[in-house]
Structure 1
Amino acid sequence: NEPPGNRLRVALTGLTMAEKFRDEGNDVLLFVDNIYRYTLAGTEVSALLGRMPSAVGYQPTLAEEMGTLQERITSTKNGSITSIQAVYVPADDLTDPSPAT
């Protein structure tokens, strides 16, 4: 029951913490309970900012935001981040663009 801005930042905050431990030389396992929640929070924030949604209702920046998050999950010479993520597929619709990103 948190505001969408807070929910959007949870994944990024968790990833920032994982990066800190990785940079200290640790191997990190990052669990993401449901990456779709990140998408929904981004959609709500986008609507609050007055951005026009895409044809299926998601924020126009979905691919960029998801790409930025996923690209930060990486290994370095000192440590690594491995991520296990649950992906919710709305109404089992495999053509929905959210799980595809």
Structure 2
Amino acid sequence: MFPAETDHYLPIHPEAPAFSEQATEQQILVTGIKVVDLLAPYQKGGKIGLFGGAGVGVGKTVLIMELINNVAKAHCWFLELAI
């Protein structure tokens, strides 16, 4: 890879926002997966559990990849993933 040429750099570990600047209301993370959004909506900034011992071939990896893809598209991120 080559270094990016820019006049603007940001630190990898920026300072945390002040407590008064943090949001206090709960927001729902729209995943773009209709079943998840309807039956088990995820909270922004919350923890998400996924059954890891559900067995082989039940779609755990597909679900995670769809979540990453849909959230990245909603925020106009560019992703390059290698599994």
Q: TM-score, normalised by structure 1?
A: 0.27
Higher strand share: 1
Which has the higher Rg, Structure 1 or Structure 2?
A: 2
Higher helix share: 1
- Of structures 1 and 2, the one scoring higher in RCO (CA 8 A, sep 6+) is 1
